[in-house]
Amino acid sequence: MVWPADWDKPGEDNSIIAAGFSSGIWHGEDHIYFKYRYFTPKSAAGEKYPLVLHLHGADAFGDDNSLQLELHEIGTMFARESWQLKHPCYVLVPQCDQHKHWSRNDITRQVQDFVISFTERFHNIDTDRIYVYGYSAGGLGTFNLIKKFPEYYAAAVPICGATSGDRIKELLKLPVWMVHAEDDRIVKASYGNVGETSKFYMGSAEIYEVLKKYFDKDTDIRYTEYPKGWMKKFFGVNAHCSWVAVSDEKFGKDIREWMFSKSLKHHNP
């Protein structure tokens, strides 16, 4: 696919941050494997650290173990020195090849197995504070992952994602902050498919409308929708690139701080 001319480009320091990630290959079942990159925090004896899982979009599909960090700042934002000084954490960024998709059920299961194996490898990961976020195809994958394993993740941020009505009430079991641009034409915020029984994709706005009916005092489901023309006006990018706002050091700070405030101890007492 040819991406629009107004697709975002990372800052000059992004490649420097990406170079601080180690690399690996994880082999799962049925000949499924993931090349991946991971960031290790500067640790202190006896301390536990959160783990952030990032699922990239279709523009980073491949087998080079590089694009998922090099294309955008959204994959490296939690490895920035400014963030690590305040919130040291592990960052795990697998790459999906072109013949698979994060939202495939078999891939979702393998992603979960992969994350579990990673936490078993690094014993100072705080398993009460495992977070997941993804954009576009990775937003779809994020929804699929937390619908199937809602009890495992302390919080999730699906960016310009979509999902069907299947198991949608599972999303109520954990804090979720959805982000979308109103005028996104690649993955729409609204498809006109609102309904728990919908077999078709619903955009973030529609997912929020379905879930709103079940909110109670303990629900923490949020939705931010950037108005038509907003992404172009403030960031000069295509409306689909709402991840640019999330990764912006100042503008996206509230979402990042919200995510890191969550723990399984809070919503699964």
| Residue 267 confidence class, pLDDT cut points 50, 70, 90 | low
168-204 tens-digit pLDDT = 999 999 999 999 999 999 999 999 877 777 778 999 9
- Lowest mean per-residue pLDDT among 30-34, 166-170, 172-176, 205-209: 30-34
- Sorted by where each starts, the structural domains of the chain and their CATH numbers stand as 14-267 (3.40.50.1820)
Is pLDDT at 121 greater than 50 in this prediction? yes
Does 269 have pLDDT greater than 70? no
Per-residue pLDDT, 69: 98
Q: What is the pLDDT of residues 73-94, one digit of tens each?
A: 999 999 999 999 999 999 999 9
Is residue 115's pLDDT more than 50?
yes
> With 50 as the cut, is the pLDDT of residue 58 above it?
yes
pLDDT at 199 (0 to 100): 77
The residues near 68 (Cβ < 8 Å, ≥ 6 apart) are: 37, 54, 56, 60, 75, 93, 94, 95
State the amino acid at position 74 in one-letter form.
I
Average predicted confidence (pLDDT) for the chain:
94
| Closest to 129 (Cα-Cα) out of 55, 52, 77, 74 | 52
Global pTM?
A: 0.96
Q: Please check the confidence at residue 30 and state whether its pLDDT lies above 90.
A: no
Nearest residue to 68 (alpha-carbon basis) of 53, 87, 81, 80: 53
Query: Look-up: residue for tokens 């979960």?
Result: 112
CA distances from 166 to 32, 148, 159, 174, 179 (A): 25, 10, 19, 17, 20
Of 223, 44, 194, residue with least CA distance to 124: 44
Summarize pLDDT for 227-266 with one digit per residue, the tens. 999 999 999 999 999 999 999 999 999 999 999 999 998 6
